[in-house]
Structure formats: C-alpha cells, structure tokens
Structure 1
C-alpha cells in the first residue's frame, strides 16, 4: 500500500468522526473525490430527473473526469484535514 493509499484510508475513517456534519456542497465534493480516487472516471447512466440526489452526485463525480486517482485521493485527504481543523464546511 502506497503512502497516499494509507492517507486515503485514514481520511475515510476520519471523515466519519468529524465534529460537525459538512454542508451539502462539501459532502458532494467529498463524494466525488472519493469515487474518482477509488473507482476512476464516472460510469453508468446519469440518473433521471426523479433522482435529484443521484443526479447531483453523478454530476459532481463527472466533473472530475480525467483526474488521476492519486490526485483525487490527495485532494480528498486535504479536504478531510481542513474539515478536521474546522477550516471548511
């Protein structure tokens, strides 16, 4: 396991123990970075209009298309660290 993989795994644990719940836009950023880092580019069909949450998640992940997995992992780790310090919400 590489260093970034270890940091990414630790950030996944840390994000569940944040002192307060992040805002919806931050949650979307976390989701998109996690998916890009763990699964690569978005795949599957875009959810329909009746699945609003799924649509926003898909669009957030799709916006990162082409981002290397390690870059997404690093950005995820940095975002979780800033949330732990209370710098982002």
Structure 2
C-alpha cells in the first residue's frame, strides 16, 4: 500500500530529494517512520488513518520489547544477587 505524504522538512540522499511541501509517495512502514519523526504528514484521511494504526502498532511492539528487556534485566540482577 502506497501512502501519499506532504513533506514537513527537506530531505536528500541517494534515492530521495524533497523539500518542504513536496509530495512524496512511499510504503506504509516508511510513511509511519517519517510521520512519527515529524518529517512528513499524510496527504489524505485514508493514508492518515493507516499511518496512525501503523504507529500505534510500532509503539506497542516497542513497549513489549522494553518490558521484555526490563524483565530480563531484573532476572539477571536477581541471579547476581543470589550468587553473593
């Protein structure tokens, strides 16, 4: 699914060269990263809804990963304390 964005800032690189206000079409994953990073905004309501849902999914995955890392660190600390 391609998402149409309007750039909020300029970006340039080997495969992209856009300035503020330029239209840019990309896949949902990149669109979500760009919107979340404040680089762009969705150009239409359908795209905006898809991007919002993807961002929510990304944030849920990050929260789960952070929780798992905290649990692992707590278990490691508990094991280290038990060895003393």
* Structure with higher strand content: 2
TM over 0.5: no
TM-score, length of structure 1 as denominator length: 0.30
TM-score normalised over the length of structure 2: 0.31
